[in-house]
Amino acid sequence: MNSTRLPSGSGARQVRAERILDITAELLTQHGYRRVTIDDVAGRAGVGKGTVYLHWKTREALFWAALQREALRLFDQLAADLQQDPELALPHRLMRVIFLESVRRPLVRALLLSDPVLLGNLAQDESVRAAQQELAENPDYLQLLSEEGALRPGLTAAGALHLLSNVTRGFATADELGEDDGLALEERADLLAYVLERALERDTPLPAEGLSTLNKRVIDMFTAMADGHREQLSRAF
């Protein structure tokens, strides 16, 4: 097994750390928090147990890094997509994308729903809770919408946050009821967008200048969140 102490910041060390995170994410998705050990990760990654601890000092730190990397990737994707499509800054469009990604990315879904099986003790961690808030209960995003006049008249940022978080969570947890409604994933995403547009957004289109400003501010928000996660993750590399 590879247990070489590679220089901090080297390309080889980063490749090894990414490989460990890939395995951790895979095992967490398959088995959940309580059934995955450092030995499991090390064995599957082909490194010694001590090598894993060279990158992350605790099992919880390793698991959080795997979750954090997935959130980072989503934020990077959203920032890039917003560059191409300014209307994605509107809540009905943005949450449609996040809803679809939560299905395609199990770790994102776990964060979004505080999945006790996959997150285990991490569900109570302040960093994990902050990441959950960034995904679907972000007061900064709702405040941006309010400041740029994108919300329905009379609807406060706090009221919009309450609606957004509860509607989104309801759609995300529908599968857990065990009922097959016969709707395809894209149809469900479209219904979520339909509800949010009518519940949260103004009836008339946001003027082009306002939409451009909102788009830039939302890009800046996601970029800042991604950079924060990237900086924390880089400490293990």
Residue ranges of the chain that CATH labels 1.10.357: 70-234
When pLDDT is cut at 50, 70 and 90, the band that residue 157 belongs to is very high
Given a cut of 70, is residue 84 above it in pLDDT? yes
Which distant-in-sequence residues (6+ apart) come within 8 Å of 121 by Cβ? 33, 60
Beta-carbon-side half-sphere exposure of residue 155 (alpha carbons within 13 Å): 23
Q: Are 130 and 64 in contact (CB under 8 A)?
A: no
Q: What is the CATH number of domain 70-234?
A: 1.10.357
pLDDT digits (tens, 9 = 90+) for 180-237: 678 899 999 999 999 999 999 999 999 999 999 999 999 999 999 999 999 999 888 8
Given a cut of 50, is residue 2 above it in pLDDT? no
When pLDDT is cut at 50, 70 and 90, the band that residue 80 belongs to is very high
pLDDT of 174: 80
Token output for 142: 């709702």
DSSP-assigned letter for residue 180: -
- Look at 23-37, 84-98, 164-178, 188-202 and tell me which has the smallest mean pLDDT: 164-178
Token output for 203: 């009836």
Mean pLDDT of the chain: 91
Q: Are 51 and 3 in contact (CB under 8 A)?
A: yes
Given a cut of 60, is residue 3 above it in pLDDT? no
pLDDT of 9: 63
Residue ranges of the chain that CATH labels 1.10.10.60: 1-55
pTM of this structure: 0.88
pLDDT digits (tens, 9 = 90+) for 117-137: 999 988 888 888 888 888 877
pLDDT of 126: 87
When pLDDT is cut at 50, 70 and 90, the band that residue 6 belongs to is low
DSSP-assigned letter for residue 181: -
> Which one-letter amino acid corresponds to residue 172?
A
CATH of 1-55, one of 3.40.50.920, 2.60.120.40, 1.10.10.60, 3.30.565.10: 1.10.10.60
